[in-house]
Each structure stands twice: as C-alpha cells, then as structure tokens.
Amino acid sequence: MAFSRITGTALAAGLAVTLGLGAASAETLRLSHNTGDTTTWHQGAERFAELIAERTDDAITVRVFPNAQLSGGDQMRQAEMVGRGALDLVVTSAINVTPLVPEMAVFSLPYLYGNYDEVDATTQGAPGEMLSEILLDRGIVVLAWGENGFREVTNNTREIRSPEDMRGLNMRVAGPMYIDVMNELGANPQQMQWGETMSALQQGVVDGQENPIGAVIIPQQVYEVQDYLTAWHYSYDPIFLGISKEKWDSYDAETQATLRETAQEAMAYQREITRQGTAEGIDFLREKGMQVYEPTAEELAAFREATQPAFDKWAERVGPEIVGAFQDAIVATK
Ligand code: X2X
C-alpha cells in the first residue's frame, strides 16, 4: 500500500514537470551551433544563456548544443530548422545560410572588407538590417551579429604566397561560394561538414582548409594537424544569434526586449574575445610550430585579382541593391 502511494506521488510530480506545470512556468530553449565547445561561438552562446537566466529569474533558460548535434551533424540544416520552429535558437555563420538565403553570401565576398571598422559599419549598421529582414521572411529573427572572422588558409603541403601556390591542393571548404573561389585559384575544393574536417586533415583526405584564427583555428587546435598558415584575409564570415519567429511571437514586448538586449551584449562579448584571440593568434601559432606567412600588400592584390570572378558571380546572385549598400557603408568609413 505504502509503496503504491509513493509511486503515485512520484508519478504526479513527474507529470507536472513533463507538462511544464511548475510555479514559475519555466521553459528551456535549445540553442544549436556548429563548432566545438572550446570556441568563441560557444562562449558567446553560454554568455547569452547565463545572462538570460539571470534576467528572467530562470523563467527562460537556454541549453547550448555544440557540433550541430541537433541537426544530425549537418551545419547547413540548422537555419532551416530554426526557420520552421524545429529549433529555438541558433548561432551560425553566414556561409552556412547561403543554401537557404543566397544573399547571405554578401558578407563573405572575396576581399570585400579591408579591416574591422568596415566590417562593423555593415554588420552593426543598416546593411546588416537588410539581411535580418530577409532572414525574418524565412522565419528567423536575428537578435545580434557576432564574429567568426577573417578566414585564413592552412595546409600541409607548402607555404602559400601566391595564387599559383594554391594549384592542385585538395581543400576542404564550408560552403558553395568558397567552392567557386577555390576553383578560381586552381585548387580542388570539397564541401565538408566542420565536424568531419579535423579527421579529414589528420588522415590526409584533404591537404588544407580555411577558417578564422581566433574563433576556430586556435580553439579547435587546427595547428595540431596543419603546418602552414597564410593570413590572406580573403573572406570575412560573421555569425549571428537567431531565434525562431514562432518562438519570438510567443513573447510579450518586454521579454522580446530582454532577449534582444541580452543577445547584443553576449555577441559584443563574443566579438571582443574573438578579436583578442586573433590579435594574439599569429604569435601563438608560431610558438606551436606553424609556419605563418603574412602576405605583402602586393601579394594580397594578386589574391584579390585571382578571386574577382567569384566576387562578380556571387555579387550578381546577391543583387546590386544589397552589394551597393555594403560597398557604400564601407566607403563611408574611409
Ligand atoms: O565550417 C566552418 O568552416 C565554420 C565553422 O567556420 C563555419 O561554420 C563556416
């Protein structure tokens, strides 16, 4: 008798939890991102989780899932899942969204940006808003823009100083625009999940890859499996913290404001630690035994020229209105 009473109580308590009948009607949102738990993406997401729990008295808590595990390891699928409400929150980079929203390629057009001021004039200004509006049409509310960073090339075959040095290298790339860029350079690009890239590099399935120093190369220890890095700054990649529109619309204006402000703060922190890690990164990588090459202005101009056809092709896909808005904002910083 006593046994069944206890069982009954436990069952009732279990049911209350399952149905979300707790006093504070707390909810846990799932946040997916597609890098490991050592990256600045993860740190930014965790900062958001900490602050949002604090500011809502645990009414909203966020659980962060790294390595695209909620989308079966498919980093491109996350945005689409958030768009239809199958995921609550996402932190991902622009290139991952280009299959769903080709306009997102604007940020990563080869050699669009020369420095961080130019980046900030777009991601933190009206040009970024243009992309946020397009994402909203796909069911994703962008809460804040963060940073993956300027993507630098690494490989195990030779030091890269000129476009010719890229010829014949088997390169892992993240997304469709980089396939075109690598083809222009005479390399053999292969699109691959980030989650499969480290072992592909280790086993020599590919010779090289490209990623930002502070956000990915250092925290994911790419230097352990790659000998050469060239800081060619060929393409910038922002990240964003987004929430499904379905979830967003379920909140009142005050909760929405808290979510937005908190995301802005978390991504500002994420940009700061990413830039810091990048600034200290080249020395660190040399200490770890990597051969790091920093091209001259002339050498950079040669890479820019060689990748111009990919710029033109993707600028056309993005459309002149958006590309023009980005270029105007960049010129205005000079
Ligand atoms: O897959 C990559 O290279 C990464 C982690 O940088 C992106 O998500 C684009």
The encoded tokens of residue 60 equal 């909203």
pLDDT digit string, tens, across residues 81-112? 999 999 999 999 999 999 999 999 999 999 99
Neighbour count for residue 24 (Cβ, 10 Å): 9
Whether residue 302 is contained in a domain is answered as: yes
Residue 96 Cβ inside 6 Å of ligand 1? The answer reads yes
Give the total number of structural domains in the chain: 1
Whether residue 94 is contained in a domain is answered as: yes
Q: What is the pLDDT of residue 21?
A: 44
- Ligand 1, atom 3, residue with closest C-alpha: 174
Q: What is the pLDDT of residue 25?
A: 74
pLDDT digit string, tens, across residues 151-163? 999 999 999 999 9
- Give me the CATH number covering residue 323: 3.40.190.170
User: How large is the average pLDDT for residues 315-332?
Assistant: 98
In 130-149, which positions are buried (b, 16+ CB within 10 angstroms) versus exposed (e)? bbbebbeebbbbbbbbbbbb
Q: Place 260 in a pLDDT band, splitting at 50, 70 and 90.
A: very high
The encoded tokens of residue 292 equal 């790091």
% of residues, the chain, pLDDT over 90: 93
Q: Place 282 in a pLDDT band, splitting at 50, 70 and 90.
A: very high
Pair 31, 65: CB distance under 8 Å: yes
Q: What is the pLDDT of residue 10?
A: 47
Give 201 Cα–ligand 1 centroid separation in angstroms: 15
Quick one: how many helices (H) and strands (E) in the chain? Answer: 14, 9
Q: What is the pLDDT of residue 220?
A: 98
Whether residue 3 is contained in a domain is answered as: no
Q: What is the pLDDT of residue 23?
A: 42
Provide the domain limits for residue 108: 25-331
Residue 35 Cβ inside 6 Å of ligand 1? The answer reads yes
Q: What is the pLDDT of residue 5?
A: 46
Cα R_g (the chain), whole angstroms:
22
How long is the chain?
334
Q: What is the pLDDT of residue 147?
A: 98
Q: What is the pLDDT of residue 16?
A: 45
- State yes or no: pLDDT of 265 exceeds 90: yes
Round to whole Å and give the CA distance between 78 and 86.
9
- State yes or no: pLDDT of 1 exceeds 70: no
Most informative mutation of 67, 148, 173 for ligand 1 (most atoms within 8 A of CB) = 148
Q: Token match 């023009």: residue?
A: 324
pTM for this predicted structure: 0.92
Whether residue 12 is contained in a domain is answered as: no
- State yes or no: pLDDT of 18 exceeds 90: no
Whether residue 41 is contained in a domain is answered as: yes
Residue 216 Cβ inside 6 Å of ligand 1? The answer reads yes
Q: What is the pLDDT of residue 75?
A: 98
Whether residue 279 is contained in a domain is answered as: yes
Whether residue 95 is contained in a domain is answered as: yes
Chain mean position to CA 180: 20
Whether residue 217 is contained in a domain is answered as: yes
Residue 93 Cβ inside 6 Å of ligand 1? The answer reads yes
Ligand 1 closest atom vs CA 95: 9
**DSSP assignment of 142-176:** EEEEEEEEEEEEEESS----SGGGGTT-EEEESSH
Q: What is the pLDDT of residue 8?
A: 45
Residue type, 28: T
Q: What is the mean pLDDT of the chain?
A: 94
Q: What is the pLDDT of residue 247?
A: 98
pLDDT digit string, tens, across residues 100-152? 999 999 999 999 999 999 999 999 999 999 999 999 999 999 999 999 999 99
Write out the E strands in 227-267. 228-244
User: How large is the average pLDDT for residues 54-63?
Assistant: 98
